Amino acid sequence: MANEATAAHGSHDHHPHGWRRWLYSTNHKDIGTMYIILSIVAAIIGGAMSVLIRLELMYPGIQFITDFQFYNVLVTGHAFLMVFFVVMPAMFGGFGNWFVPLMIGAPDMAFPRMNNISFWLVAAALVLLLISAFTQGGPGTGWTVYPPLSNVEYHPGPAVDLGILSLHLAGASSILGAINLIVTIFNMRAPGMTMHRMPLFVWSILVTAFLLLLAIPVLAGGLTMLLTDRNFGTSFFETSGGGDPILWQHLFWFFGHPEVYIIIIPGFGIISQVISTFSKKPIFGYLGMAYAMVFIGFVGFVVWAHHMYTAGLDADTRAYFVAATLVIAVPTGVKIFSWLATMWGGSLEFPAPMLFACGFIFLFVMGGVTGVALANSGMDLAWHDTYFVVAHFHYVMAIAAVLSIFAGFYYWIGKMSGRQYPKTLAKIHFWMFFIGVNVLFFPQHFLGMAGMPRRIPDYPDNYWGWNYVSSIGALITSISTVLFLFIVWRTFAAGDKVPANQWGEGATTLEWTVDSPAPFHTHEVLPDMTVQAPAE
Amino acid sequence: MARTHKYNGMTAAALFAVTGGMVGLAFASVPLYQLFCQVTGYGGTPKIGAIASEAVVSDRVIKIRFDANTNGELPWVFKPKQRQVTVKLGESRLAFYTAKNMGERAVTGTATYNVAPYKAAKYFSKIDCFCFSEQTLAPGEELPMPVEFIVDPEIFNDPNTRELRTITLSYTFFPTAAGEPPVDDKTSNARVHRTTKEAAQNPSPNSS
């Protein structure tokens, strides 16, 4: 395919135009762009849902959501959109497609047409999910889709079935994308670009791809069982037929825990690139950083039942899962301290991407600390399903991941669009977003410790104060998101042209050796890395 | 390039195989999970058949309580004949529940079961039980539902279970899908999808 493409596009500026360029695209940069656009669209919808949730929770009593199933659908839709259609498409599909081939010196992905189907599958999945939300009450199951709530008795309409099919498509898309990226990274590196010289972003995508490959099929299997339970009279999770709803929890979390690493590990990669660039130093402890991600990925598969401490596990089982979960603090600590050590003594600059990277470290440490607390079964029995858990996972995987996406966006938008983002506005965006999300989520720790349960649209009056503060944080965050959209418009409408390497001596990876914006075809002459210093 | 292409195809094929393998594992987890529950007593799954240590009847005793639940769709009154019994360890014991069909049609039901606390399950053996097969009651019919069980004396040697003085045996009766009696023994039911005979050989207890 690559040969064919090279032959067809012998002259430099010849490439398909109009809708064909996008619909039939086999170009990793165009597909990456489409992923990023899809992510922004889904983020607006998913973000709007969370604003509705926060507005409802701003005061005790029912404000405007009188249909509680609708509230459940909001919670479910927000989670699905943010996990499968915002963070994954932005980092893995978007930045992964754009920059893995550039960074390893490959002309494109290994299977460009498979790349195309990966994108259009996830686009179709998004449409299915939105249809599901508008079908007979919508799916009010939460993103965990636990039976019996997701059984046909409690969700009789086709909404849950549509949601399951949507996840099947999104899963197929992710598996194809993962295979494509693994093959690209294994087989298409430039001469001299050994595994141990790959930029850490490429390592992060490689680890993520393997997590997807091993985790998504288990979700697909579980979802298929749920689908047949709902429609064809099987009883995998149906007690009356000898099935067991707890089995679903095991299958779901065997996928679900690696999934949260799928979300955050590409963020680790982006943050490593950004911090190294703006410290003007190679990353501290390169091999430790790379293998910390591999180790996190591995351990991520053997800790799933820490989501199920209240499901009736015996004491010995819980003791194992507590210990295994606490072990994760070691490789994540290696990463945090290596980032700090990279900055230590560096020639630091703080443009917007670096601000977002520093914000990421703060948020990730915050979420990590509450994670260590929650890992303990005894504590979790009290905190399970409270707002403490909501605060924890939003810190560690939601807003930390979004900060890393913004870091990557500001870091690479010059390379992607050829234009400079408005620098001051970007810094204002950072501070508004950072303050907004902290005001939004920090008080939820207090609410959770006071016992406020998740997923309920009302609460006793004594929880009012911090809920009000939290909702104010949500409003600040949404204003900053509007500012971000304005910045995107402004960048394309009035941004100055940027040179090939806009960040100077700190930016050593291969994407900075090609023009900005990156030409349609890059690395037509393979870069020779055999003589260069490792690119970190 | 041609060499890269060949390698690409091979790598992708291997990765697709891994994907297929993981889907297979997800489905294999269903019987594996059931087996795991039966072997370890996980989730309160009692043993079936005789106990391992050849029944040495011990002087020590343990209290067995009986719990009965009926699914709302089954018009039966299902209750234990005795609230509790005290049994010697290692001694097999027969206990009875009764079930009465209050409805106007013959109905078939099956009972799922487990014991509490869960950790007692691996020392609790059912030698025979009404729950191993589907039960059909004519309108107004009342039948005794026997269960024969034995508690392994090993329960007092295990540091995790030696403090137990009471075990609760629990059943929940569900209607089979249509709630109609099967025409004959071999008619498998779509919902419960196992025949009486299979159920006896391979009982699927509750929460395991």
ipTM of the complex: 0.79
CA distances from A353 to A205, A360, A367 (A): 19, 10, 21
Q: Which helix (H) or strand (E) holds A406?
A: helix A400-417
**Domain segments of chain B as ranges:** 2-40, 47-201
Tokens coding B73: 């769709």
Q: Which helix (H) or strand (E) holds A79?
A: helix A68-80
What are the DSSP calls for A84-95, one per residue? Answer: IIIIHIIIIIII
Could you tell me how far CA A296 lies from the centroid of its own chain?
16
Digit-by-digit pLDDT tens for chain B (208 residues) are 455 667 888 999 999 999 999 999 989 988 888 888 777 777 777 777 766 555 577 788 899 999 999 988 888 999 999 899 998 888 888 899 999 999 888 888 888 888 888 888 888 888 888 888 888 888 988 889 999 888 888 888 888 888 889 999 999 988 886 545 444 443 333 333 333 334 444 444 444 3
Please report, for residues A50, A101, A136, A364, B7, the alpha-carbon distance to residue A267 in angstroms, rounded to integers and kept in the order given: 22, 18, 37, 11, 29
Cα gap B202→B46, rounded to integer Å = 13
- CB B204 to CB A243 under 8 A? yes
Task: Indicate the pairing of strand B61-70 with strand B107-116.
Answer: unpaired
Q: Residue A141 in 3-state DSSP?
A: coil
| CA distance to partner chain A, nearest, from residue B94 (Å) | 24
pLDDT at B51: 60
Grouped pLDDT means (10 residues each) for chain A, 536 residues: 43 70 90 96 96 96 92 95 96 95 92 95 96 91 93 91 96 96 93 92 96 95 94 88 88 95 96 96 94 96 94 87 95 96 94 97 96 94 95 95 97 95 96 97 96 94 95 96 96 93 91 90 81 56
Q: In B, which residues are within 8 Å of A215 by CB distance?
A: 22
pLDDT of residue B50: 64
Closest partner residue to B193 (CB to CB) among A178, A217, A234 is: A234
Distance from CA of B142 to the nearest CA of A (A): 22
For B47-201, CATH gives 2.60.370.10
Rounded Cα gap, residues A492 and B203, in angstroms: 66
| Inter-chain touch A235–B12, beta carbons under 8 Å | no
Contact A59, A468 (CB under 8 A): yes
Q: List % helix, strand, coil for chain A (3-state, nearest 5).
A: 70, 0, 30
| Per-residue pLDDT at B200 | 42
Gap from A429 CA to chain B (nearest CA, Å): 41
Question: Cα A8 to the chain's mean position, in Å?
Answer: 35
Contact call for B33 and A247, based on CB within 8 A:
yes
User: Could you tell me if A50 and A78 are in contact, meaning their C-beta atoms sit under 8 angstroms apart?
Assistant: yes
Q: Which residues pair with B116 in a beta bridge?
A: B168
- Decide: residue A428, CB within 10 A, 0-12 exposed, 13-18 middle, 19+ buried: middle
C-alpha to C-alpha distances, B79 to B92, B97, B145, B153, nearest whole angstrom: 21, 6, 9, 28
**Residue B198: both structure tokens together:** 């299979």
CB atoms within 10 A of CB A193: 26
Per the CB < 8 Å rule, is A221 touching B43?
no
SS3 A53: helix
Give the pLDDT of residue A6: 44
A109, A151, A168, A183: best to mutate for the B interface, most B CBs within 10 A = A183
> What is the distance between the alpha carbons of residues B158 and B170, in angstroms, rounded to a whole number?
23
